[in-house]
Amino acid sequence: MRGSTRRGAVVAAAVGLTLVLAACGGDDDGGDDSGSGGDGGSSEGPTGSVSINSTQPENPLIPTTTNEVGGGNIVDAMWTGLVSYDSATGEPGLAVAESIEPNEDFTQFTITIKDGWTFHDGSPVTAQSFVDAWNFGAYGPNAQLNQYFFGPDGANIAGYDAVAGQTDDTGAFVEGSATAETMSGLEVVDESTFTVTLGSPNSLFETIIGYSAFYPMPESFFTDQAAFIEHPVGNGPFEFVEEVPNTSINLTAFADYAGDPKPQVENIEYRVYADLDAAYADVVANQLDILDKIPPVGLAGDVWKTDLEGRSASEPLTTRFTSMTFPLTNTEAWADPNLRKAISLAIDREAVIAAAYGPGNYVPANSWVPPGNDGYVEGTCGEWCEFDATKAQELYAQTAGVQGTLLISSNSDGGHREWVEAACTSIRETLGIDCQGDYDPDFGSFRARVNANEITNPFRTGWVADYPSIQNFLAPLYTSNGSANDGGYSNPQFDELIRQAAGLEGQEALDLYNQAESLLSEDMAIIPLWYDNGQRGWSTNVNEPQFTWKGYVDPLSISVQN
Amino acid sequence: MGRYVARRLLQMIPVVIGTTFIIYALVWALPGDPFAGRCGARPCPAAYVADMTAKYNLDDPLPLAYIQYLGNLLRGDFGETFQGLSVGEELLRAYPTTVKLALVAIAFEIIIGIGAGILAGLRRGSFIDNLVLVSTLVVVSIPVFVIGSVLQLFLGMRWGIFPATVGGDASLYNLILPGFVLASLSLAYVARLTRTSLAENRRADYVRTAVAKGLPQRRVIGIHTMRNSLIPVVTFIGADFGALLGGAIVTEGIFNVPGVGNLIFRSITTRDGVMVTGAVTVLVLVFLLVNLLVDLIYGWLDPRISHG
């Protein structure tokens, strides 16, 4: 599942204000209403051990360079940022931050942090811990994967360019082009206060800094990185015990954790599985406590519902969106919006999902933003996302049509070949044209072709949001210079609406985002396909855990049964 | 004998260089840049790509990059994975598990395979003989992942007799199920090989002589027939052991055994080229050494074969 396990990456240039600022979020901090029945015994401290399925981290466990799920879940359990997202709603609330005060035009933020927070090694969490960590992440020669979160694609901190360095015409990094080691926009005022100056107004700043790239780092990291990689030190609810590569990563509850709620479970084993089917076998046999994703072997014929009766759940994920994108810059073949609409009309999403994933395991999409996100409006795609054979044929007849065979490109692993085949069947039967999959063996080779703009036929695009906001589903993907705009879609009106929304707050901003989204349905350069449902299971040893807005287990919600 | 071993060891050098070069070239010559998929739907930061390109010598022409890699290899440096773990240490951690699993599998081959082969070979045409023939035919014709998944479903998940997967605890008991699955195919071959070989030798002249001399049946079969009949079987098991040490990607995947096969599978899916090349280099070496060992044992078992 390469494609869908990626945490996506950055944030886009313009930003909108979908969320009310700092102080208002404070009360919601960690609002965990279920409590899993462990509340009464909170004086006893955390008890028991649980295991959670994981993959081997692909990068060192440093927040600024961890961008995939295996490492990301562990980093999220080991660190707490200035802001954290509510598990259920994704709403950002203050965590380590005492307050985050913007100036009038959202270009400068004064951040004060709470007293009493320490790292697992006992050293205090100070303003400097954040500033140093952010500078480290942005500094070009450090080659951190999450670097762009500090630049124009993300928070856009002033002075980023000098720290990040330059690229040449081919996009390659110019050695020695980073002229400063610290960003001029970061200024430490005192032990617990720092100010952040941005390169452009960004009313979503508070939401963005909840992402793991913005976690603080202890002093020991900067003095001995090799030792840190062996034994990472965070400030979150769980501290690192040991890693047995390819087997497991073990964490234990941090006794001096300053946040709230406190951990209810003492030990967590993130157990590494090369094949998710084996994890499924384990959770059915009660040898694995929490499985955050049911693999196809369990979904087929809905066996998971009987295998895991009373200890499984399915709910829509608010963070994932699968679509099909038409390339517009390297070919003229798809320039006619009616052709794109005809193809969208010809895909029976319900039937494709049933054939590829089992009925009901995904939700047909009729907008570009999954439900559950602030600003979601049902049916922005309207008629164009509803299967309608007659209309598809009529519309198709008005166009020049598809020359030769219609190809749909994707990576063939991770269950993608199945839906491409099913979608082709649907298109073939509806429009009477030939349709075939065009596959790369894995996500890496597929993305290499997409990034190189080599694909001249429609191809799969999937998005996993970096942070919970409608802005993150629109700006990076569909603005002309968006960092993940794969098809080269460009609509000046759309760009302008997104830009304006970045300077506004609340409903005003949402209205502009919605207007921008409705432009997408006129152009249909990107066809919405479906939103993900998350299916998960747990053993009889634990109470039902909660899952984060990203669809991964919230370690603070885990408790063992008495 | 000494000269034979020396010659064989020398022959290994071109084989090892050739195979590692092919693997190295294949891994790094995969279409597209190896870091394209590492940042989701976005290209990775230029600074990251530049750093990794330099770290793995990807800017150099392939032969040069390979020579640098080989140079490090000769100094015992297998390189580092993308995560920054030492490839050498990872292999050292994974190997004992794979060896254990291979030994469990070999034990099954010897006990069940040879046992069934002897029973069938001694009574050709009997019910036992037919049973062995039919059941081995069934086993041979079912793919390993089917056998593995079915046994896991019933013995592991439904009835809970064995743990469904192995994970970090590679105890002997936990390895019984994956070991049996891994052995199943070879086990069938061993049984058939033993049966045929035994049946043939029973008609050999020296057996008739032994019977004519008046030796008791037990001694004729137990000493004379058996010893000669097992020569091809030992060779087969030896070669199989070499192959099993290469890790079993399918079986280790189904039962989540943290062995070499699992390591290679994961490294291929994450395109961790250094890990793949390192692991395969070691596999080639192990396979060649085990084969040499088998050839030497063969000469010792069967005096007609000489390694002069």
Specify whether the CB–CB gap between B164 and A275 falls below 8 A. no
The CA-based angle A53-A58-A64, given to 5 degrees, is: 105
> From the list A140, A247, A447, which residue is nearest B47 (CB)?
A140
Q: Cβ separation of A449 and B82 shorter than 8 Å?
A: no
pLDDT level of residue A556 (50, 70, 90 thresholds): very high
pLDDT of residue B152: 92
- Other C-beta atoms lying within 10 Å of the C-beta of residue A480: 13
The kind and range of the H/E element at A463 are: strand A459-464
Q: pTM for this structure?
A: 0.86
Residue B21: other Cβ atoms inside 10 A: 17
Q: Which residues of A touch B252 (CB under 8 A)?
A: 274
pLDDT for A43: 52
> CB contact, 8 Å: A137 with chain B?
no
The pLDDT score that the predictor gives to residue A539 is: 95
Q: How far is B51 from chain A (nearest CA, A)?
A: 6
Q: Check CB contact under 8 Å for B83 and A56.
A: yes
Best mutation target among B27, B33, B48, B87 (most A Cβ atoms within 10 Å) is B48
Q: Are B275 and B18 in contact (CB under 8 A)?
A: no
Residue appearing with tokens 């000489």: B306
Instruction: Indicate the pLDDT class of residue A442, thresholds 50, 70 and 90.
Output: confident
Closest approach of chain B CAs to the CA of A512, in angstroms? 25
Place of tokens 């065979």: A405
AA identity, residue B37: G
Of B34, B42, B164, the CB nearest to A287: B164
**Interface probe, candidates B33, B39, B93, chain A, greatest A C-beta count within 10 A:** B39
Is residue A6 over pLDDT 60?
A: no
Report which DSSP code applies to B133.
H
Of A229, A248, A449, Cβ closest to residue B84: A229
Q: Supply the mean pLDDT for chain A.
A: 87
Closest CA to A365 of A216, A184, A531, A124: A531
SS3 for A198? strand
For residue B122, what pLDDT is reported?
A: 87
Q: Which residue has the higher pLDDT, A279 or A105?
A: A279
From first CA to last CA, the distance across chain B in angstroms is 6
Which residues, 6+ apart, have CB-to-CB distance to B171 below 8 Å? none
Q: What is the pLDDT of residue A39?
A: 41
Q: Is B5 in contact with B292 (CB distance < 8 Å)?
A: yes
Cα–Cα distance, B78 to A528 (Å, whole number): 45
Contacts of A271 in chain B (CB under 8 A): 167-168
Q: What φ, ψ does residue A20 adopt, rounded to 5°?
A: -70, 150
Q: A42 pLDDT band (50/70/90 cuts)?
A: very low
Express each pLDDT in A336-392 by its tens digit.
999 999 999 999 999 999 888 888 888 999 999 998 888 888 889 989 999 999 999
- Alpha carbon distance B98, B149 (integer Å): 19
Contact B37 A448 (CB under 8 A): yes
Neighbours of A382 (CB within 10 A): 12
| Model pLDDT, residue B243 | 86
CB atoms under 10 Å from CB of A403, counted, come to: 8
- Mean pLDDT over A165-191 rounds to 89
The dihedral through the CA atoms of A161, A163, A165, A171 has a sign that is: negative
Spell out the residues 6+ positions from residue A130 whose beta carbon is closer than 8 angstroms to its own: A82, A111, A113, A194, A214, A216
pLDDT digits (tens, 9 = 90+) for A395-409: 999 999 898 999 999
What amino acid occupies position A390? T
The CATH fold of domain B88-301? MetI-like fold (1.10.3720)
- Residue A164: list chain B partners with CB under 8 A: 45, 47
Rounded CA-CA distance A248/A256 in Å is 24
What pLDDT does B218 receive? 86
For A198: left if phi > 0, alpha if psi spans -120 to 50, otherwise beta; the answer is beta
Q: With beta carbons less than 8 A apart as the criterion, state whether A139 and A186 touch.
A: no
Q: Which of A125-134, A248-257, A441-450 bottoms out in mean pLDDT, i.e. has the lowest?
A: A441-450
Q: Which residue has the higher pLDDT, A39 or B87?
A: B87
Please answer yes or no on whether B168 and A247 come within 8 Å at the CB atom: yes
Contact B68, A478 (CB under 8 A): no
- CA–CA dist A285, A289 (Å, integer): 10
Q: Where in chain B is the domain with CATH 1.10.3720.10?
A: 88-301
Provide, as residue numbers in chain B, all residues whose Cβ is less than 8 Å from the Cβ of A9. 39-42
Q: How far apart are CA B105 and CA B172, in angstroms?
A: 11
B46: nearest CB among A167, A277, A452: A167
How far is the CA of A173 from the CAs of A9, A140, A330, A487, in angstroms?
A: 19, 9, 25, 24
B chain contacts of residue A71, beta-carbon cutoff 8 Å = 83
Residue A526 has pLDDT above 90, yes or no: yes
Range from A125-129, A161-165, A170-174, B136-140 that averages highest in pLDDT: A125-129
Per DSSP, the residues of B141-178 read HS-HHHHHHHHIIIIIIIS-SS-S--TT---HHHHHHH
Strand locations in A397-458, DSSP E?
A: 406-411, 435-440
Q: Which residues in chain A (58-117) have CB-CB distances under 8 A to chain B?
A: 58-60, 65, 67-68, 71
The residue of chain B with its CA nearest to that of A452 is: B32
Structure ipTM over 0.90, yes or no: no
Q: Do A445 and B36 touch (CB under 8 A)?
A: yes
In angstroms, what CA-CA distances link A201 with A1, A20, A420?
Answer: 37, 15, 41
At residue A12, the pLDDT reads 34
- A10 to B31: CB separation less than 8 angstroms, yes or no: no
Residues of chain B with pLDDT under 50: none
CA angle in degrees (0–180, nearest 5) for B232-B236-B237: 120
| Cis ω before B216 (30° cut-off from 0) | no
At A445-478, the pLDDT tens digits run 888 888 888 999 999 998 888 888 898 899 889 9
